[in-house]
Chain A
Amino acid sequence: MSLESQHQVHKAVMTSGHALKIPELKILQSDGTPYPDATLPDIDQELALKIYDTAVFTRVLDERMLAAQRQGRISFYMTCIGEEAAVVGSAAALSQDDMIMAQYREQAALRYRGFTTEQFMNQMFSNVKDLGKGRQMPIHYGSNELNYMTVSSPLGTQIPQAAGYAYGQKRAGKEAVTLCYFGEGAASEGDFHAGLNMAAVLSCPAIFFCRNNGYAISTPTAEQFAGDGIAPRGVGYGIDTIRVDGNDMLAVLAATQQARAIAVAENKPVLIEAMSYRLGAHSSSDDPSGYRSRDEEAKWREHDPVLRFKLWLLAQGWWSEEQDEALYDQYRKEVLAAVKVAETLPKPAYDTLVTDVYDTVPEHLEKQLQATREHMDRYPDHYPADSGKEA
């Protein structure tokens, strides 16, 4: 019996929890050649090279900064390895006016927007030049200028916020959308339900982008949900939904380009589920060997999204192995040099302890800062000397 003829029945007939089969968009094969019947997204050489440049930078940044964390130079790090296509491919489909609300594993999107190597370092070393004034843990980036909302640790909180932000964009009459990234683990939070339902009911031009990478720290997806991933939930909320191969740069780009067109033209949300694999550890505080096999990781390494895209670029004649080596070399030097500068800069001034709690510093916080300063003056050796003592 077809689904349609089941709409009216007079006997109890259950619709299976797996009745909805959402297909997965794939454009590039693992050898970098497109599937014969695939439709390529809107992409030219300039865009393709900017995408690749961003992916390579991200890979180098991750490799170097994980090493810096191991050496104790920064307190914490999280890599994007294996998910570069999901993140860069989607960011490349947006306009610079679109707001990006990230979870934390989307530094590649921020790089695509133009965040400089120095800015990354200043945040990670929480020095005086950090836009966030050294208040949050490493990798909690944000930039008003680049329309990249400051990252926060609580999972899923940005999802209903994206609905509200997009609603405001719609009312302001701008042709802009909000793209909201989150992992498949975060999609189990109540805020996922709240955000998607609100965006659908209130017609918000938001793109909800789920990075389904197989794990939430040590928890495999089989312990995260019983249904067919995240995508069918979008259909349940009345949201246009697409599942895409998250290791396929062109498929992610195509899906997001189409999602943005729908969001702008029809003022409604779209859900994208990108199927990928978290090749690295969850964070610098995690060791995945405790919960998954090396074989499994090796299998996914064969589907390296950066390599697949590079093979396509080579086949297009837009890139060469020599250029590739030079680019990696350039970024390794650039990142290392930036580390050396950032780690020598002083910490933010002590008055930043109390500024920005409110728009102006209230009296009780002025007093608390004053007391802290007087205390530190009595014990100058006990507190870090490299902090900027003046405002």
Chain B
Amino acid sequence: MAQMNLLQAINSAMDIAMASDDSAVVFGEDVGHFGGVFRATSKLQEKYGKERCFNTPLTEQGIIGFANGLAAQGSTAIAEIQFADYIFPAFDQLVNESAKFRYRSGNEFNVGRLTVRTPYGGGIAGGHYHSQSPEAYFTHTPGLKIVVPRNPYEAKGLLLASIRDDNPVVFFEPKRLYRASVGEVPEGEYTISLSKAELVQSGSDITLLGWGAQMELIDKAAKMAADIGISCEIIDLRTLLPWDVDTVAKSVCKTGRLLVSHEAPITGGFAGEIAATIQQECFLHLESPIARVCGMDTPYPLALEQAHMADHLKIFEAIKASVEF
């Protein structure tokens, strides 16, 4: 075990993936000698050579198109999109190509060895284009897996599992926590299963569900709730597609209440999918409407970021409202 921040944990996962698989290649904008604008790929070029860790021209559709071809050839392709806000030029390659590669060819070809890493999320004064949480655009795409870790331990285990999974994975990294989140992480290799939610804290009054950086705020709100006698069960969804319905439904059938919180705008956000599924699975157990505490339906603002965010106080108020319903 070693103390690592989230970036170091991600770097460690890629280091292990590259050491154990000669076909593994890491690429994107500024990921080479410079080590990435967040230093996630630091020292990988020095260690594995320019052929395996390299800069690409500044073209997101090119990066993912190239990655699709490389993965189809049988190499392990680990592509970086510098900010999730800039993944949209590659939307066509991801949605029409990566996601459908295996299905449309009758499994003659696949891009299962593709992993796309990208920093996402707000709370860093990033304005419109350095703050977005675009996961829900991708959860509507059969064929992709969507994974979001919440801390260094989770990040390393989930990233290594994503790289080794035989399906294309989009891995969203909470950049607000890159350096802020520090914890004990095994130096060697381990993986955390995809499509498995984690019961982070047991409770009896309400289930709180989230992913990524939002887990920290959910945790904070749960502590405030505990102080006034409300017992919260906390679940980290970890994989958004395909997601772990059973773990969430089991919890909600026990607590009778559900609150889902994410940074992204509320309309069309993934909380809507969860709410619809859980009300179907747990209809007779629900004692209050399912609450969604999400970003407002606006572009991500700069000056008024704090007001826009689904912060711990908004979550705390929604917990009280649900329990008092």
Contacts and interface: CB of A to CB of B under 8 A. Distances in A.
Interface of A: 99, 101, 130-133, 135-136, 140, 142-144, 149-150, 152, 154, 157, 159-169, 171-172, 178, 190-191, 193-195, 197-198, 201-202, 355-359, 362-365
B105 A142 contact: yes
Contacts of A202: 54, 56, 66
Nearest to A353: B103
The 5 closest A-B pairs by CB, nearest first: A160-B65, A164-B69, A194-B62, A168-B73, A161-B69
B112 A152 contact: no
Given A150-B109, A164-B66, A165-B70, A359 B102 contact: yes
Interface of B: 23, 25, 51, 54, 56-57, 59, 61-62, 64-75, 77, 89, 92-93, 96-97, 100-110, 112, 142-143, 145, 166-167, 195, 242, 245
Contacts, number: 161
Given A165-B73, A202-B56, 17 more contacts: A101-B69, A131-B105, A142-B106, A160-B93, A161-B68, A164-B69, A165-B69, A168-B70, A171-B75, A178-B69, A191-B61, A191-B62, A191-B93, A198-B56, A356-B106, A356-B107, A359-B102
Given A131-B106, A136-B104, A154-B96, A362 B70 contact: no
B104 A164 contact: no
Nearest to B246: A363
A159 B64 CA distance: 11
Nearest to A362: B242
A249 B69 CA distance: 29
A154 B75 CA distance: 24
A190 B97 contact: no
A99 B68 CA distance: 14
A356 B102 contact: yes
A198 B143 contact: no
Contacts of B245: 363-364
A286 B56 CA distance: 40
B54 A169 contact: no
A363 B242 CA distance: 9
Contacts of A99: 73
A357 B99 CA distance: 8
A136 B101 CA distance: 11
Contacts of B23: 168, 171-172
A201 to B, nearest CB: 5
Contact of A198 (B25, B57, B167): B57
A362 B195 CA distance: 9
Given A165-B69, A165-B70, A197-B57, A160 B108 contact: no
B96 A157 contact: yes
